[in-house]
Amino acid sequence: MQKRKKLSRRLVVKAGTAAMATTPLLTILGEQAWSAERISESHPTAVALGYVHDGSNVDASQNPTYKIDQRCDNCVQYSATSDGWGTCNIFPGFEVAGPGWCKVWVVKT
């Protein structure tokens, strides 16, 4: 019985040590998994939706609904990640620029 307690304690210590040792690795892997490719303005879906990295480059004649205060980072589809970029539900697996814009912009409430 006593031997079993020591074994359990040893396992707990080993498990704790292993967890502490792998936490930085998991953190790094987690960040890599989170990092999505930044969308290209030439991506077919981006072209179809008039996406641009910088909303000030929107061709207003082609996008009459565009307003200067419409940006990806205040769109309901956007979730910030880092460095002014974020994910967008319209472009799964990609990041879009915070100051960007596309034709399906909807204000985040």
Residues that bind ligand SF4 (CB under 6 A): 51, 72, 75, 77-78, 88, 90, 96, 100-102, 104-105
Rounded Cα distance between 8 and 78, Å, is 47
Give CA 25 to chain center in angstroms: 20
Provide the minimum distance between the beta carbon of 33 and ligand SF4 in the complex, in angstroms, as a whole number: 21
Q: Which is nearer to ligand SF4, 14 or 108 (CB)?
A: 108
* Nearest to ligand SF4 of 9, 108 (CB atom): 108
Q: Which helix H or strand E contains 86, and what residues bound it?
A: strand 85-88
Please report, for residues 2, 22, 25, 48, 57, the alpha-carbon distance to residue 88 in angstroms, rounded to integers and kept in the order given: 57, 31, 27, 15, 19
- Please identify, using beta-carbon distances, which residue of 28 and 80 lies nearer to ligand SF4: 80
CB of 84 to ligand SF4, least distance (A): 13
